[in-house]
Structure 1
Amino acid sequence: MSEPIVYAALWRPAMEAAGYRCQCTGQCGNRHAKAGGRCPREHDQHASKHRGPVHLLAVPADLTASDTTACRAAATQLRAWCPDCYTAARAAARKAATAARTAAQNSLFNL
């Protein structure tokens, strides 16, 4: 089984906790209905015949975390994500956070 060149000591516990399977449960916008509600992609498995193997990422559970905060996350704060789900879920989480901040700021001026 392949492992990252750096931070394997943090990556491995996150993968073991996830069973080496992406932990997305629809945050990416895909309901993953065919897989029981959880992304079916597993580490080192081929997603399709046209793509190479999936290499899962260990990233903070908080998808809005800054890169600096993400680098400081403990192993218990990490979740396994396939690159496709992570990219889409992180964009959605950041968009929702921005919308919430904007709404909060607007409410301050509409009192």
Structure 2
Amino acid sequence: MSTRIPPLAGADLWQAVMAAAAGRCQCRGTCGKSHAKDGGRCPREHSHLAHHLIAAPAEPADLLLAPHQAAALPKTALAAWCPPCHDATLSAARKTRRTAAPAAEPDSLF
């Protein structure tokens, strides 16, 4: 694993999440890919040259939290994500929320 360069803010938390993940994306298929060739886990590792992992909520539904709520999560509720897995999982969570939400009834005049 290469040297980890933390973000400017929250460096201690980010480093704790990366250490728990051994510097590797923790996606296990929530992005829509099975990652079957890699034992069911995304193979991307943090590298200051190519891949930059982010610390974000581990549960897909928690990716939809408001920023101040996500920032309050404990480090045990966070995971290391590569941007493609994070973005695809976030999109899937948004789609699930849209399809699960009841349709708003139109306002009536009477």
* TM-score bracket relative to the smaller structure: 0.7 to 0.9
How do 1:55-66 residues align onto structure 2 when only pairs under 5 Å count? Answer: 55-61=52-58, 62-66=62-66
Give the match for residue 75 of structure 2: 75
Shift of 1:70: 1.4
Whole-angstrom distance in 2 between the partners of 1:54 and 1:102:
39
Normalized per residue, which structure has more helix? 1
Deviation, 1:72, is 2.0
Mapping for residues 1-111 of structure 1, pairs under 5 Å:
1=3, 2-44=5-47, 52-61=49-58, 62-102=62-102
Number of aligned residue pairs:
99
* Identical residues among aligned pairs (%): 47
Letter in 1 for 2:69: T
Secondary structure of residue in 2 paired with 1:59: strand
Task: Identify the range of structure 1 (90-99 vs 35-44) with the bigger mean alpha-carbon deviation.
Answer: 90-99
TM-score by structure 2 length?
A: 0.80
Q: Decide whether the 8 Å contact of 2:63 with 2:70 is kept in 1.
A: no
Cα separation, 1, equivalents of 2:95 and 2:102: 11
Segments of 5+ residues of structure 1 without an aligned counterpart are: 46-51, 107-111
Q: What secondary structure sits across from 1:25 in the alignment?
A: coil
